[in-house]
Structure formats: C-alpha cells, structure tokens
Structure 1
C-alpha cells in the first residue's frame, strides 16, 4: 500500500485545512445556532472546487484525486461543524457518484458541470418511512407511460433535500422481481409532481437539512433512467459501499479535532492545585482517544487505497464505517468527560460534536447493518467447498 500523494494534492489538502480552521470553524457555533451555513462560506467552498471532488475534470470537477485524495480532504472538513461537512459530503458522495459511475455521456454532460461547480446541489433519495435499514422494501413506484416514467411515493430523511436540485431516486419498476425490480432515476426538483415535504428537526448536524421528498405522479423522462432498469438496488448498495471510507474520514477529522481540544484544555484546567492532564485518569482517556484515532486513520486510508485499486471492498467498507462511527462516539463521550461541566455547555464545541457524532452510527447504514454485511462476507469467504 502506498499512501504518498503528489504535491498538487498536498497543497489542496493544506488549503482546505486552512479554510476550515480559519474561516469555517470560527462561525461553527453560529451555524449550529442559526441552522444555516453563511452564504460566503458556501461561495468560498465553490471557488475551492469542494463541490466537484468526485467529478472528472472533463465535466468541471477536481479530477483524478481518487478515494484516498477525497478522504484526505474529508478528514480536514471533519475538523469543523459537521453540518457543513455533511452538506459537502452528501453532495460529493451519494449525491453525485451515481451519475459519475453509471450515467450515460448525455447525462454526464447535462448534469455534472453544474454539480461540480456547486451551482446545483445533489441528493440521494432511497430511504422511506417503511424502508430504512430494509432498503429493498421501498414502496415508491415508477410506471412507464410513453416517453416518461410516472413516480409515486414518499422518501424521508433525505440529506440536502430542501436545497438540492438533482436527486438520485430509487423506485420500483417491477414489483414481482423484488430487489431486482428497483430502478434508479435522475429527478430534477422542477419536474412536474415533485415537491419537498416536512423539513426534519434534528438533534445535530445543524446547517445540514433533511426533508421528505414527495412524488405525486412525478414525470421523469425515460432518458433519465440511471444505469439499467432493475439494477437500482444493486447500484444503491455499490454507491453506499464505496462512500463509506469517506464517512470514516469525516469522522476521523472530527475525532482529531476533539483530541486537540482536550489536550489543550487538560493542560490549562487546574484542579487540586495542578493541571488535570497530570492525573492518570485523564491521561488514560486521552490515550484511548489517540488509539481510536490512529486505528481509524490507517483503516480508512487502507480501504480508500483498495477502492482506488479497483478492489472489492464490501466487507472492508462496512467494517471501516462501523469502526469509525463507533470510535467517533467513544471519543466524543470522553471529550465531554474531560471537559466536565463545560463539555455540556453550548458555549463550547464539545457539546456540538457530541450531538453530531450520534447520527454516524445510524445514517448510510446502521452499525447493526454493517455487522450483518461483514458477517455475510465472512461466511462467503470461509464457506466450505
């Protein structure tokens, strides 16, 4: 495995870190309180090319930085408000990757340039009220009528939905075939019959918005089928799997920031006449945090490298997403403990990270689903001949 990167990518990573630390982080509390990302931050992110991380250069994107390059950038984005990170991550991950990997040349030319520039925002609509972890149980239907498909159904918890322009939507085209009867569609927000429903009120990820997507006789042109008809469920799993290293990288950045804050605070906070960093109990918490971070770092880089080599990563991607999300929650919990009462106060970022961390064990595949995937792959690998 080779984790070396070229000078151009190294400069980009450093630039993103400077942007995050000096421009985004100072307004992170404001983002959390107002549930809104300042427009100047979004515009600067556009200028830096952050919306085009997954898109080839010929369509206006950053180009060939690979999954490892994306993870190094996601790691820096994770150092600040997770709502901002999620806005970018959902767009550059599941919001656009499907079109990049499965789209026709016409679809790519039509949609990718605006998605790369950030002029249009992407979203991924799979989850439904009765189909969360049981994603194959979606009820949204798509019936072909002439040169259009008519979609009916409701999606919920769709990240970026209130602001998004382009949605990758999963719908059933042949109920008799089960998961093999699900098809992917590229749906524009202005298509007839498309509307946004309830905007969800969440525990964390303030600044990143999720909402219902309601399809009522929504008209989608036949040319907007993404990939082959009946391959939507398989495609959804592939899109989710390859993006899991990116989720781990975002968690990694947040964990690293929490450790830095805790080390600094432990050296400054005095109790019983000495800094709390001198107490073994605090030292052990810092050590546990550091071990979780380093394990997540090299696990994430390895899976990203495997993706770039074109290797099968179903088990590894599930494992790194599972480990990183659980580790993030452990690190956030220890950070609150080290800060004590201050860690519970909204005036300090620790409380925000603690709230934001919890969703990572749920979205884009719960920890339990990841363990199911890992076990399933193990049983296949070690099956008796």
Structure 2
C-alpha cells in the first residue's frame, strides 16, 4: 500500500477513536496494531512511524514518567495562571449539584437517560389543592382592590391564606405543613400569580428563600418543633433580610455586624450577639413577626475561641425584640405586596436565636447558597410562566374579538409575530418549569439550572407580556378593574431584579459557575491547586488533565464531523419528525463543549472579567437546556401533533440563537486567528440554522386564536374563566360567542347582500329574522356576540375627582362593560 493510503488510514483511525471517545490504552493498542499491519503487509518495519509512536506512547502510558515530565510542570503552570478562589466563590461553587446541565457539557448528551426520568405529576392531594383552595383563593382576589384601593391583600384573603396553610407548602406534614412537592409549590404560585402578582409574591416568599427553608435544612430540633408548626399555620409571618444599601448582588460584602458578648435574656445573663443592621427591599417585612437576618460575626474578646472574624451568620429574631425596627413601606412599581426596610441598633440576641445554634456560626453564606439554588428554580419561574400562560390565553382571545378593518386583529401578520412569540416562549417556559421541578422532586439541587430558569423565565415574561401589551394597545394601557394585564406588566422589573439581578445572572453566573460545576474535569483540576500533599496533587491532576485532553480532542472531532454532516449520523431516540432536533442539539452540545474548552484554556481565570463572552456562552448552555426540556415535555405529553407548531418554532429559534451566540464568540475572541480556527472546526460548512418561518409563526398564532386542546394544554394551570363579569372571563366569553355567531353572520350578510357593522347590526338582524334568513334565536346569538365583544374591548372610566395618589378612590367600568352585568 502507498504512503498516501497509510496516511489516510491513520487519519481515519484517529478521527474514529476520537469520535467514540476511546481511552488512552485503546488508542495505544490501535496504533500499535496499525504499525504491525503495515509491517506485515509491506514486509518492512515503518521506522519513522515506529519511532514517533514509541516517543509518544511510552511517556503517555508510563504513569511515573508522564507525571514527572508533563503533569507536575503543567500543575505549576496552572497554579501560576489560576487566580485564587475566594471563600465566597468556593461556597457558591459548592452549592447545590449538577444534573442534565452536566450532560450538556459533555458534548454527548444521553437523551435516553433524560427521557427515562419520570414525567413530573401532581399527586391527587396536590391536584385537589390546586383545584380547590387555590381556585377559591383566585375567585376571592380582586387585584384592583389590592393594588389601587388597599395597597395590601384584604383581611379575608390573609385569613384564607393562613387557614389553608398556603405559607406552609414546603413544611413537612409532621410539622403541620402541606409537605408539597416542588412541582406543586410551583403550580400554586403560578396560578395565584396569574390572578394577582401581589398575591403570588405573598404566597411564594414564605415558601422560597427564608426562615422556613433554612430551618428545615439547618435548624435545631428545638427550633423546628417550635417554629415550623407556627409558620405552617401562619401564626408567624416570616421574612428574610439579606440585601442592604451597600450590598446587593455582592451579598458577601454585607456591612451588618454581630459582636459576641454577654447580655440579658429572659432575666438571665447569657452568651449571644450584639447586632447592628440596615436592610432594604425585604418582602413581608412590614407584616413579619419573625425576621431572618444575615450578618458578619466577630469575636473580638475571644469568648468563643481564638478566631476574631467568624464569617456570615444567620439569626432568627422575633420582630418585637427590643431594638428591632421595621421601617416604612417600599412600593415596588404598584405591586402591592408588603415590602420594606428593617434596621437594628444594638439588638442583643442569645445564641439560641442563631439558625442551627452555635454550630452554624460562620456558615451563613453556604446555607443561603444551598437554599437559593433550589428556591430560585421554583418561585420566579412560576411567576414568569404564569404570566406567559395568562398572556397566551387572554391575548389570543382579545386578538380574536378585537376587529380593525372588519378583520380580527389576530389575522394581521404584524400581530401574528407577537402571538407566535407569546405562544412559543410560553411553551418553552412551561417545559423548563416542569422538567426542573421534576428534577428537584427527584432530590437534585441544580444550582446552575436554577440560574438559567430564573433568568430566562423572567426575561421570557418580559417578552411575552410586552408583546401582549402591544397587541392590546389602549386596552392594556388604561388602568382599572377591567385591566387584567397592566399589573403583571408593571411587576416585570421586580422579577428581573430579585434573587440575583438578571444582568449579573447572565454575564457571570450561568456560564461562570456552569463552566466549573458542569465541566467533567475542570473543577477536579482546580482542586489540585491548593492541595498540600504534592504527590497526591500531581496524581489527581494527572488523571484529570489527560482525561480533559482526550475530552477536548473528542469534542473537536465530534463537532467537526457532525458539523460537516449536519448531524446526519448522530444516534438519537426515535421520535418521528422531531428526531432531527435531538441530533442538532447533540451537535451543538459538542460545538459548545469544544469552544468552551478552548476559551477556558486561552483565558483561564480572566474569563470572569470577559463578561460578554461569558454571557454568550451562558446563552448557548441555556438554549441547550431549553431545547432538552421542550423535547422531554413533548415526549411526556404523548407527542401531541397539535403542539408541533410551538415545538418547531421554539426549537428552531433556540438552535438559531445557539449558532448566533457561538458566531459572536468567535468574532470577539481575544485571539482573532484562533477564533476563526475554532469556528472552522464547529461550523465547517458555515451557518446551518434559520429563524422560524412566517408560515410556522402563523400556525403558532392560530393556536391562540381558537379554542382547542393545544391552547388548553399550553395555558393549563393558571386562572381562567368564562364569566362575563370577570376581566379575563370577559374576553374568553366574547371569543366563544363570536365564534358561534360568525357562520350566522356570514349567512345573514350573504342572504341580505349587506355588510354588517356596529351601525346597522340591530336593523340588519331584525330584517334577517323578518325575511327568514336567520331564526329569531340565531339573531339573538348574533346580538349577544356583539354585546360580548363590546364589553371585552371596553376600557375602564374612573372618576375625575380621584386623589392624586390614585389610592382609595372608587372606579367603575365603562358603559359597554356594565352592559354585561
């Protein structure tokens, strides 16, 4: 055989071994066999090839030699370029765990494993609570009364929340709580928030990051036995104070202090802390009876030992403790949930007020990070998804009944664009919400995924509610009891801001944390930097390093081959026409993993200062997860064909965004030449994906404009009504009436040779009945539809003499709306 043939065989063998991610012994054996085959066929030993093979194989396979020649030197270099990890960063990295996000980082996700996870489902008890007390609560809620007249929930609503233990959803039944799953917790918050964001926040906060969850994980038995039953029954209203004027996203920089000292408690001198704090933006603070506080603990007199600075510590303090001050209220953008500042001046607390008692002094940051990694994946995604479902249902109905130029506005292509985004983004958010809640209920604590959900569900909320407002126009702008959209629109910046501002979450957390947590080898390599036992450090670094090298080579080959073939030969689950999405997301997973490795090698610790690059990588990882969750949801729901337009639209957009972000990364690479080379590897044939077509957008929009199983499935779980006296029910009722009336109107117009309008409607109906074109009953249907449509598009009229603050004044519906009463 010629030298060219052997060269091509060698290249093919190397690519095959890299593609299947073969181990080093397999590589060594395969190339030894190739050289042997060459020898047997040609009759002479290929000397150069043999020398090269031995020069590479011996140092790589003899571990002691490899560690001495390569690994120990590379570890020293790694230490020189790797910046030290602060204790705060270390705790954040250790919080929670990884789940499917780690699979996506491998470049070779196991889709069968994902699909084997059970479909998240509510238990019969949880479903009964959603259908019973939660539905009843939604019927009690008047958001205009809450936000415009009372600036608070009405007393009967507060009582109902306490009596039905809405504040104890996460508290186990043995402590008097409901003991609900993460999915049930999410489902309740989503439904209540779709009726009133203020009520939704009030329900979600005690069940999210706060005293209840902290006590469950870290409280002493005595603290649990006393506080958890009281929290479950609503006898205690909790809040948690972390953010202050000088510490927001950088919560580790809190200036609030606690000094170990002795003081009096219950008539006895005991050891405790003297606290001083100044906190703001604390939800439920104005009504709280139990205040959680984060502070930095110090022991200047050595009462606990030799250590002077003890670290962030958490305490649980009754708000009637001397020195505790609950300030005046904040008013977050007309969302009237209770929120305000709290301060403390020389407040003495005994050690028993510390969450977990003295054992957890200095562990506060770790406690918070572990709880936040779970809570952030439930409450705010539920809020965003609920807003998407409300927007889908109400905006679809409104666009069906609102006419311009004698045509429903939902039929105009410009409006269709907004409706398509609303439907597809809602489908995507629901898929993420359900799949992640299911992971939490399996015992996972995916901290990176919680950041993905928080960011993309709240940004998704911003997009869909913004589109809904555009489509509603003046109907969405004019405030009043009949406006079901404006308060949700006003609440968007709140969800964008809390539990990690979105700019920070996208630019630092998702990839900055995900690159370390989800990468199969990077964290192991980093752990070697600070190890005191040098021999052990080199041994561990050696294993991680050479596994990492093989991992990177494999992903480079997989990315190139699958890019060249457009993923044609990737093995995926058989899922009909959506199988192609499994292949393309697998292909992009390999492209992402290889690109991320090259970037990490090039930038090292500098990456955290390259926030734009980090944000784009975060977008890629996020859309890989979104695509995964949508494919799983489609499979879990039995592959309903009517959902395909939404799945196609959302998957196609995610793939387009992934490719676009990778392209932007390569274009802005610190080394332009290397950026072009990496792009050539992962996009060897150029760009592959396009945005969803207009035709597909039309199909998605059409789903929202007509009652159907797909529309009901998309919007399941939020408040809905067909009561013409309810703001949301009014547009649903009108859509049903109009759809029933439309064929009758067509017959009437054709039979009489006239075009119906608001001006001639009654006379034309009378004439049609008189001439037997329609029956009297059919005429009544047409008139009722017109009346329902007028009520649905009506806006509220408020008294001109109302107070400047717009609080405490009365309001009335417009004449058309009153006509439906």
What TM-score comes out, normalization by structure 1 length? Answer: 0.94
Q: CA deviation at 1:88?
A: 1.3
For the pair 1:213 / 2:345, whether they are aligned, the reply is no
- Residue 194 of structure 2 corresponds to which residue in structure 1? 79
2:484 matched to which residue of 1?
349
Give runs of aligned pairs for residues 93-104 of structure 1, distance below 5 A: 93-95=208-210, 96-104=212-220
Classify the secondary structure of the residue corresponding to 2:397. Answer: helix
Given that residues 16 and 73 in structure 1 are in contact (C-alpha distance below 8 angstroms), is that contact kept between their aligned partners in structure 2?
A: no
**1:257-283: CA deviations, max 9, x gaps?**
122111111111111111112212222
The 10-residue stretch of structure 1 (250-259 or 120-129) with the greater mean CA deviation from structure 2? 250-259
Give the CA RMSD over aligned residues.
Answer: 1.9
How far residue 295 of structure 1 moved from its aligned partner, in angstroms, is 0.9
- Counterparts of 2:333 and 2:446, CA distance in 1: 31
1:119 aligned partner: 235
| Alpha-carbon shift at residue 16 of structure 1 (Å) | 4.3
CA offsets per residue over residues 137-182 of structure 1, 9 Å max, x none? 1011011213221110201110000001112210000499999710
SS in 2 for 1:190: coil
Q: Distance in 1 between matches of 2:383 and 2:404?
A: 34
User: 1:14 deviation in Å?
Assistant: 1.5
Structure 1 position 244 matched with structure 2 position 376: yes
Is 1:11 the counterpart of 2:135? The answer is no
Aligned residues: 381
CA distance in 1, matches of 2:155, 2:431: 35
Which residue in the other structure is 1:376 paired with? 512
Matched, 1:183 2:299: no
Matching of residues 155-170 of structure 1 within 5 Å: 155-170=279-294
Aligned-partner SS, 2:377:
helix
1:194-245 Cα distance to aligned partner (Å, 9 max, x none): 0112321321321x12111111011212011113111101111222221112
Range with greater deviation from structure 2 (130-139 or 262-271): 262-271
Can you give the 5+ residue segments of structure 1 that lack an aligned partner in the other structure? none
State the 1:6 CA deviation. 2.0
Whether 1:302 aligns to 2:443 is: no
Partner Cα separation in structure 1 for residue 344 and residue 143 of structure 2? 34
Match of 1:286 among 401, 407, 419: 419
- Is the 1:60–1:116 Cα contact (8 Å) retained in structure 2? yes
> Where does residue 335 of structure 1 map in the other structure?
468
Partner secondary structure for residue 220 of structure 1: strand
Q: Secondary structure at the match of 1:255?
A: helix
Q: Deviations over 1:27-68 (max 9, x none)?
A: 1111110211111111122222211101111111002x2212
C-alpha separation in 2, matches of 1:127 and 1:109: 28
How has the CA–CA distance of structure 1 residues 302 and 262 changed in structure 2, closer, same or farther, with 3 Å as cutoff?
A: same
Greater fraction of residues in strand? 1
CA distance in 1, matches of 2:169, 2:129: 11
1:144 aligns to 2:260 (yes or no): yes
Aligned residue number for residue 48 of structure 1: 164
Q: What is aligned with 2:352?
A: 223
Distance 1:98 1:275 in 2: 52
Give the whole-Å Cα distance in 2 for the aligned partners of 1:54 and 1:127.
Answer: 24
Q: Work out whether residues 299 and 320 of structure 1, in 8 Å CA contact, stay in contact via their aligned partners in 2.
A: yes
How far apart, CA to CA, are the structure 2 residues paired with 1:213 and 1:353?
Answer: 27
Deviation at 1:312, TM superposition (A): 3.5
Contact 2:190 2:200 in 1 (8 A): no
How many Å separate the matches in 2 of 1:358 and 1:249? 16
Q: 1:10 to 1:351 in 2, by over 3 A?
A: same
Helix, strand or coil at the partner of 1:162: helix
Q: Deviations over 1:45-99 (max 9, x none)?
A: 2222211101111111002x22122112222122111111111111121232111
Report the secondary structure of 1:168's partner residue.
strand
- How far residue 186 of structure 1 moved from its aligned partner, in angstroms, is 0.6
For residues 267-325 of structure 1, what are the alpha-carbon distances to aligned partners after superposition, in whole Å with 9 as ceiling and x for unaligned? 11111111112212222211211111111111112222222222241100010010100
Do the aligned partners of 2:258 and 2:296 also contact (CA within 8 Å) in 1?
yes
Q: Measure the CA separation in 1 of the matches of 2:308 and 2:374.
A: 23
Tell me, yes or no, if the aligned pair for 2:297 and 2:309 is still in contact at 8 Å: no
- Check the 8 A contact 1:29/1:349 in 2, yes or no: no
C-alpha distance in 1, partners of 2:429/2:308? 36
Distance 1:180 1:298, change over 3 A: farther
Match of 2:367 in 1: 235
The answer on whether the counterparts of 1:169 and 1:186 sit within 8 Å (CA) in structure 2 is yes
Distance in 2 (alpha carbons) for counterparts of 1:244 and 1:16: 25
